[in-house]
Amino acid sequence: MTDARAERAALSDLFERVGPDAPTLCTGWTAADLAAHLVLRERRFDAAGGIAIAPLAGYTAAVQEKIKRRPWPELVGMFRGGPPVWSPYRVPAIDAAVNTLEIFVHHEDVRRAREGWEPRALPTAFEDLVWRRLRTMARFLFRKAPVGVVLRRTNGERIGGRKAEPYVVVTGEPQELLLFAFGRQAHARVTCEGDPASVERLVTAPLGA
């Protein structure tokens, strides 16, 4: 099973356990909102543009709300089943490229919104994959950071996030650095080194895609 499919199955199981009204780390969204978002991006390409393009956001929100009103077991089943047969996301290589980190982050959005969560122990191969993806994504994800950023893996490897002075060094496992970069700073198990004002500005900044 690919990483993308494993994360999809695990998140689907979690959706079933917590129910549609469970909180998430996505501001204002319940588990039902998040599930509807995930289904929309794979099945309603006509409405997916509003995820990233502000002028189209109203239509996207309306379609997402309609999807959300489906019975919960049906909605979870649509997500669990994956993209429809006509979707390019059905191609394993494309699924891996566009869904692995997306689903991982949203899986953690549900997990870490609950009391008593702890980071999962992930295979080294998955951590290495996340680190490689971060190498290509870090500058984009930190483009709006108010200070310079260096990401440091716990084994000492480094990635430049944003070149600027002063800068903050963020240290953690690759999956924790990924969550930090995607704007989940308060729920990422990392340490930040830098002057206190710079650290505060970074950990409260709106980051991510």
15 and 107 both lie in a single domain: yes
Task: Kindly calculate the radius of gyration of the chain based on its CA atoms and give it in whole angstroms.
Answer: 17
Domain count, the chain: 2
pTM for the full predicted model: 0.94
Structural element, H or E, at residue 170 = strand 167-172
Of 61, 78, 111, the residue at which a domain comes to its end is 111
182 and 90 both lie in a single domain: no
Name the pLDDT band for 45 (thresholds 50, 70, 90).
Answer: confident
Residue 131 lies in a domain: yes
**Sign, CA torsion 209/93/80/54:** positive
Tokens encoding 29: 């969204």
Residue 174 lies in a domain: yes
78 and 8 both lie in a single domain: yes
Whether residue 47 is predicted with pLDDT greater than 80 in this model: the reply is no
Q: Are 97 and 89 in contact (CB under 8 A)?
A: no
Whether residue 50 is predicted with pLDDT greater than 80 in this model: the reply is no
Residue 208 lies in a domain: no
180 and 144 both lie in a single domain: yes
Which position has the higher pLDDT, 60 or 48?
60
Whether residue 165 is predicted with pLDDT greater than 80 in this model: the reply is yes
Q: What is the DSSP string of 102-128?
A: HHHHHHHHHHTTSTT-------HHHHH
18 and 69 both lie in a single domain: yes
16 and 55 both lie in a single domain: yes
Residue 132 lies in a domain: yes
Of 88, 111, 134, the residue at which a domain comes to its end is 111
Residue 137 lies in a domain: yes
Find the domain containing 192 and state its range: 124-203
